[in-house]
């Protein structure tokens, strides 16, 4: 059975357009128009993904995303934020709260569909991680988005944290630079940046992790791997 998508959108024309086009792709669609109804629908419908507008009446999209990530039963549901806001700060806040991707209006339904499929594919291939992961001197709190080495906090950017999280989730598998571009930067950004961007972020991440940098290894000619054995 095709995946169920909960669309949280208060603009009726956009909601109808999403419902029509995503249903054509074979997805099962549930529409709600505010944050409170979204949280109720998540419990009732158990969607496989949420398309979440940021600017909602009452409880906004950021509050909804934060509430979802706090609960174990909803914390792993993929979320794509859809909003008229294009400021970098809004995007970073959304991603730091746990959104998997972010699109601004006006948007291409074809691109949104591609992103939905990419996010669902990544979510389906991920191993479920505990809220907190530790190995040697490194501790990562995924729910609070905190990293520490030898109990000292490490200040990572949103992209650096997403890169580290993606590597850890792979549990020892080698991830290509192309895969990391898609997983961390998203489909749209990946078209506009080069694979060396991954190398630069890995280098900076290693520098910040200091003694824990040894867990991120380079596999020449392939990509990067997070070593899960001491």
Question: How confident is the model at residue 152, as a pLDDT?
Answer: 95
The pLDDT of residue 129 is 58
The pLDDT tens digits for 176-223 are: 887 788 778 764 444 455 668 889 999 999 999 999 999 999 988 788
Supply the pLDDT for residue 91.
Answer: 67
Q: Domain map of the chain by residue range?
A: 4-125, 132-226
What pLDDT score does 181 carry? 81
Write the CATH number of the domain with boundaries 132-226.
1.10.10.10
Q: Can you give the pLDDT at residue 125?
A: 53
pLDDT given for residue 90 in this prediction: 67
SS3 per residue for the chain: CCCEEEEECCCHHHHHHHHHHHHHCCCEEEEECCHHHHHHHHHHHCCCEEEEECCCCCCCHHHHHHHHHHCCCCCCCCEEEEECCCCHHHHHHHHHCCCCEEEECCCCHHHHHHHHHHHHHHHHHCCCCCCEEEECCEEEECCCCEEEECCEEECCCHHHHHHHHHHHHCCCCCEEHHHHHHHHHHHHHHCCCCCHHHHHHHHHHHHHHHHHHHHEEEECCCEEEECCCC
- What pLDDT is stored for residue 1 in this prediction? 53
Written out in words, the top-level CATH class of the domain with range 4-125 is alpha beta
Q: How far apart are CA 157 and CA 178, in angstroms?
A: 20
Determine the pLDDT at residue 188: 47
Extract the residue ranges of the chain whose pLDDT is less than 70: 1, 85-91, 124-130, 186-195, 230
The pLDDT score that the predictor gives to residue 205 is 97
């Amino acid at each position: 059975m095709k995946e169920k998508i909960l669309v949280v959108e208060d603009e009726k024309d956009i909601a109808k357009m999403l419902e029509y086009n995503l249903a054509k792709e074979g997805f099962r669609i549930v529409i709600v128009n505010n944050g409170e109804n979204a949280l109720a629908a998540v419990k009732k419908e158990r969607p496989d993904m949420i398309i979440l507008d940021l600017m909602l009446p009452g409880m906004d999209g950021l509050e909804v995303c934060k509430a979802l990530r706090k609960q174990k039963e909803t914390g792993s549901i993929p979320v794509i934020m859809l909003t008229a806001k294009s400021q970098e700060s809004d995007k970073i806040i959304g991603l730091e709260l746990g959104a998997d991707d972010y699109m601004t209006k006006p948007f291409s339904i074809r691109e949104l569909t591609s992103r939905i499929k990419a996010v669902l594919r990544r979510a389906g291939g991920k191993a479920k991680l505990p809220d907190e992961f530790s190995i040697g001197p490194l501790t990562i709190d995924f729910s609070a988005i905190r990293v520490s080495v030898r109990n000292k906090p490490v200040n990572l950017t949103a992209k650096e944290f997403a890169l580290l999280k993606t590597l850890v989730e792979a549990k020892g598998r080698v991830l290509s630079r192309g895969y990391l571009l898609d997983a961390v930067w998203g489909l749209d950004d990946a078209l506009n940046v080069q694979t060396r961007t991954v190398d630069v972020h890995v280098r900076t991440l290693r520098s910040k992790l200091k003694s824990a940098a040894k867990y991120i290894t380079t596999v020449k000619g392939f990509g990067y791997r997070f070593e899960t054995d001491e």
